[in-house]
Amino acid sequence: MAVAEMRRISVLIPRREHARLLKALQRFGCVQLSEVERTETELPPWESQQAGTLEEQQNQLHWAINRLSRYDKEKRSMFTPLPGVEQEILAREDHLKAMELVSQVEGLERQNGDLRGEEARLRLQQEQLSPWLEMDIPFNMLKDTAACRVYVGTAPGRGILQLAEDWADRPVVIRRFGSIRESVSFLAISHASQADAFHQALKEIGYQQVVPGTGEETARTQLMRVNEALDGIEEKKNEIVREMELAAAHLPQLRLAFEALSAGKARADARSKMAHTASASLMAGWVPARAAEAMSAKIREEFPDAQVALSLPKEGEEPPVLLDNPALVSPYESVVTGFALPAPGAVDPTAVMMPFFACFFGMMVSDAGYGLMMAILIPILVRIMKPSKGARKLFWILAGGGVMTVVWGALYNTWFGFAPWPTVFDPVNDSLPVMALCIGVGALHLFSGLILGIVQNIRTGKPLDALFDQVSWMLLVIGLGLLALPQTAEAGKWMAIAGAGIILLTAGRNKSKNPLKRLLSGLGALYGVTSWISDLLSYMRLFGMGLATGVIGMVINQLVGMVMSGGIIGIVIGAVIFVGAHLFNAAINILGAYVHACRLQYIEFFGKFYQEGGKPFTPLRFAPRYVRLNDTH
């Protein structure tokens, strides 16, 4: 239950050694660089531009990796572990071959884009020619003469039929061809003397002039050439696919180059925070206090000419926040950071929150069979998949929740929806004891938040604030609770009066110096006792979700029993339904339990004491996404 103490570290080193120093710090992975105040020093232009160049190359590599992944024959599943590499490989700076391959992929993609554009043009031409295949006249002959007028286009089919009937005895020839939906393509030739009247009649039926093609060839001949061109494009596209597949064989090298560029980009960003002269470089940053002396010794050992200084944070300076908890507790830090980091010097609630989170998770999943499945399978998955540090924390949270699910599932007597023996806690048939238990656990959770608030105020030298803001509410709420029993009603009355009096007199102490306004603020604060009722009722979700899991499991078993009564085939189908339905029930309830367990921490628990606002500790380190470091634990 601690925020790691930080130390300031400064390193003065010969300019020629600064690049090697950054590589060493990245290898150590526990120093966060901060901006050095510059006076007469100047950052050389090549150094300020390098980060931008590396970022551009990194983006190009990322694009190429995503593009080639479509052609990767080595398909990876979610259970396939990332390949392991050594830190030295990611520290390399030779990316020439990788960038040449990126250029090759970009060229292939440009060719593919050109081919798609040409294909779209030919498809459009194909669509335009298809209605005119029955016309055996070359397109260059479809033009007016001294005696005739030629009309080529489309019109509604009914209109063309009616037009042909109306002009049957006049010097007009109408020939219909293919149709698209209700429009008919046609060729009409009229004598020049009838041209104006015929053109007006065409307009009245919705005539649209069309130029289906050009040249000395018929539509059928041109379409044949278009199809040949499309076949050629398809072959070229297939050739590009084959070249992409060959390039995809180099994806492991591209991924390593991407990680190396990412590491180089991190060093370039760190370099820009340093101050440089012609002969020296100055670095400043933060290091956890527990590692400060060891880090200082390592730097002096590797860089004999370096001058290293450690110091405490200056007054008013806010160091970055790093949560420091034992191995059993540290996975639950992700729950805290998912909300917000505590402010520097504030209490880290992870250790106190952990047992409640696991308990709530178990109460909501509430099936011992599901819990056993999680507790056994998740460590196996971690060993097989070798997930990243963040994903590993989530896995261990779920594994811990699985253990508590076994405990609560056994108490509720629920094993994959079956209830093999009697139990004290029966959410289905006797819900009141379970509901009372949920409220009791919730009250303990809320009071733990108040106790953390007391600890926080005492640590910051504000013991009276602890009395006014936390102890007073504990007296009031506990006193009101004791009023419910005749044996403790008298003591409860005086505890409630004492707590209410403290709140009434002190709640507005920081808002105004006017005694009347303070009293009014106290009355408003006392109204907050109603929020305690709603907070306690929020824990009824522990009962509701646990009940839902058990009832759905029972329904699944009843359905399976009905199916299995149908003989051998029924037994086979029933077994499949049993496994699939229970896996689905487990998955949906595990997700819901995680979300609602987080909600109870964020809304109910943290609201009683939590001071957020810390900035995360982000050391210069390797942070790969496509590979994992072999020495990462």
Segment 523-533 mean pLDDT: 72
Tell the residue number behind the tokens 């810390």, with chain if given.
Answer: 614
Q: Cα(577)–Cα(549) distance, rounded to whole angstroms? A: 17
Lowest-confidence range among 485-494, 556-565, 604-613? 485-494
Inform me whether the pLDDT recorded for 41 exceeds 50: no
Q: What pTM does this model have?
A: 0.78
Q: Cα(489)–Cα(504) distance, rounded to whole angstroms? A: 22
- Domains annotated on the chain, with CATH: 1-36+274-322 (3.30.70.240), 37-126+220-272 (no CATH), 137-217 (3.30.70.2750), 334-416+551-610 (no CATH)
Segment 272-287 mean pLDDT: 89
Query: What pLDDT does 113 receive?
Result: 92
Q: Cα(402)–Cα(382) distance, rounded to whole angstroms? A: 15
Query: What pLDDT does 110 receive?
Result: 93
**Parallel/antiparallel/unpaired status of strands 6-14 and 307-311:** antiparallel
What's the pLDDT tens digit per position in 210-258?
Answer: 887 788 888 889 889 999 999 999 999 999 999 998 998 888 889 888 9
State the sign of the Cα–Cα–Cα–Cα dihedral 343, 348, 350, 352. Answer: negative
Query: What pLDDT does 114 receive?
Result: 94
Inform me whether the pLDDT recorded for 43 exceeds 70: no
Question: 104 and 67 in contact (C-beta within 8 Å)?
Answer: no
| Percent of the chain surpassing pLDDT 90 | 37
Angle in degrees, 0-180, between the axes of helices 18-28 and 289-302, rounded to the nearest 10: 140
Sheet of strand 183-191: strand arrangement: 172-180, 183-191, 148-156, 208-209
Inform me whether the pLDDT recorded for 293 exceeds 70: yes
Inform me whether the pLDDT recorded for 422 exceeds 50: yes
State the sign of the Cα–Cα–Cα–Cα dihedral 344, 345, 349, 350. Answer: positive
Lowest-confidence range among 49-53, 81-85, 514-518? 514-518
Query: What pLDDT does 613 receive?
Result: 85
Closest CA to 586 of 438, 431, 414: 414
Q: Of the segments 179-183, 381-385, 492-496, 594-598, which one has the largest average pLDDT value?
A: 594-598
Query: What pLDDT does 376 receive?
Result: 94
Lowest-confidence range among 317-331, 381-395, 521-535, 613-627? 521-535
Inform me whether the pLDDT recorded for 2 exceeds 60: yes
Question: 303 and 21 in contact (C-beta within 8 Å)?
Answer: yes
Name residues whose C-beta falls within 8 Å of residue 365's C-beta, 6 or more positions apart in sequence: 371, 401, 405, 408, 409, 545, 546, 549, 586, 589, 590, 593
Kind plus residue range of the DSSP H or E element containing 9: strand 6-14
Q: Cα(400)–Cα(381) distance, rounded to whole angstroms? A: 14
Higher-confidence residue of 246 and 461: namely 246
Inform me whether the pLDDT recorded for 398 exceeds 90: yes
Inform me whether the pLDDT recorded for 488 exceeds 80: no
Inform me whether the pLDDT recorded for 17 exceeds 80: yes
Structure tokens at 199: 């053109």
What's the pLDDT tens digit per position in 144-178?
Answer: 888 999 999 899 988 888 888 888 888 999 999 88
Kind plus residue range of the DSSP H or E element containing 543: helix 540-564
Query: What pLDDT does 80 receive?
Result: 72
- Contacts of residues 314-319 at CB distance under 8 Å and 24 or more positions apart, as own/partner, are 314/8, 318/343, 318/344, 318/614, 318/615, 319/6, 319/286, 319/344
pLDDT-based confidence at residue 626 (cuts at 50, 70, 90): confident
Q: Cα(529)–Cα(531) distance, rounded to whole angstroms? A: 5
CB atoms within 10 A of CB 270: 23
pLDDT-based confidence at residue 585 (cuts at 50, 70, 90): very high
| Percent of the chain surpassing pLDDT 70 | 93
Query: What pLDDT does 616 receive?
Result: 92
Lowest-confidence range among 277-281, 391-395, 469-473, 617-621? 469-473
Query: What pLDDT does 81 receive?
Result: 72
Inform me whether the pLDDT recorded for 631 exceeds 80: no
Q: Of the segments 4-13, 95-104, 510-519, which one has the largest average pLDDT value?
A: 4-13
Name residues whose C-beta falls within 8 Å of residue 85's C-beta, 6 or more positions apart in sequence: 256, 259, 624, 627, 628, 629, 630
What's the pLDDT tens digit per position in 531-571?
Answer: 788 888 889 999 999 989 988 999 999 998 888 887 888 88
pLDDT-based confidence at residue 510 (cuts at 50, 70, 90): low
Inform me whether the pLDDT recorded for 8 exceeds 90: yes
What's the pLDDT tens digit per position in 75-106?
Answer: 766 667 777 787 877 777 777 888 889 999 99
Query: What pLDDT does 633 receive?
Result: 42
Query: What pLDDT does 47 receive?
Result: 56
Query: What pLDDT does 42 receive?
Result: 53
Average pLDDT across the chain, whole number: 86
